[in-house]
Structure 1
Amino acid sequence: MSTWLAIALILIGCSFFLAGTVGLLRFPDTHSRLHALTKADNLGLGFICAGLAVHDGSLTGTIHLLFVWALAMMAATVSAFLIARWADEEPEH
């Protein structure tokens, strides 16, 4: 049963990654692209980490996955802020 739950969580996470990629390709400006990408990717990675934690079943593995997810969320926040700041400073062509 836990294998099916892990597969479902990982597939949900992959669908969020796919939705973020579609948002990156379809939205017109930098800020909306960043919004779609960072939100969807962070949520997708969370579901994938949850699926891997369910599949692993150990407390140590779950803590490592939570640490990876937290680091990825912090990195996405900082990089999205810096890209948005750069986009505000760049003149429009």
Structure 2
Amino acid sequence: MTNVISSVLLLGGALFCVLGALGMLRLPDVPSRLQAATKPQTLGLLLILSGTALQLPPSYAVGLALVALFQVLTAPVLSQFLGRAAYRTGAIDKSTLLCDDLKAVRDGSRDSGAESGSASPGA
């Protein structure tokens, strides 16, 4: 029974990794490609590590759990940095963005929301 579960996890993980790679090739812009590079690849790796951990002694499975934790913690951070670098170098078509929060940060006109339109209670 363990072999069947492990096989399903390994095949599912491989499928997610392949779908992420296809997304990287087929999606049109940088934000979409970043999404394809992080979400399915991370899930695919977690499934592969889980399937492998079922076949190993528990002492080795702990090491795989640390690899999984490291991947879950670093993938969003790397995606954020790559997205900012793409934005700053002009690789992102800004006309396709629905909300451009980095423009306000770059220009120094950060709008906190509390400052705009709210009157002070004593006024």
TM-score normalised by the chain length of structure 2 = 0.69
Q: Residue 44 of structure 1 corresponds to which residue in structure 2?
A: 44
Give deviations 1:1-21, integer Å, cap 9, x for gaps.
Answer: 211211111010000000100
The 2-side partners of 1:87 and 1:14 are apart by 28
Q: Quote the Cα distance in structure 1 between the aligned partners of 2:74 and 2:39.
A: 13
Question: Which residue is 1:81 aligned to?
Answer: 80
Structure 1 unaligned blocks of 5 or more: none
Match of 1:61 in 2: 60
User: Which residue does the alignment assign to 1:71?
Assistant: 70
Distance, in Å, in 2 between the alignment partners of 1:7 and 1:46 is 14
Q: Distance in 2 between matches of 1:74 and 1:41?
A: 13
Corresponding residue for residue 113 of structure 2: none
Q: Which amino acid aligns with 2:54?
A: V
Residues 27-47 of structure 1, C-alpha deviations (whole Å, 9 max, x = no match) = 111111011110001100110
Q: Percent identity at matched positions?
A: 32
Matches of 1:21 and 1:54, distance apart in 2:
26
Calculate the aligned-residue CA RMSD, in Å.
Answer: 1.5
Mark the structure with the bigger radius of gyration: 2
How many pairs does the alignment contain? 92
CA deviations over 1:44-65 (Å, ceiling 9, x no partner): 0110011011111x32222211
5 Å-filtered alignment, 1:5-44, equals: 5-44=5-44
1:91 counterpart = 2:90: yes
Q: Whose helix proportion is higher, 1 or 2?
A: 1
Between 1 and 2, higher relative CO (CA 8 Å, sep ≥ 6) is seen in 1
- SS state of the match for residue 28, structure 2? coil
Residues 57-88 of structure 1: per-residue CA shift (max 9 Å, x gap): x3222221110011122222221111000011
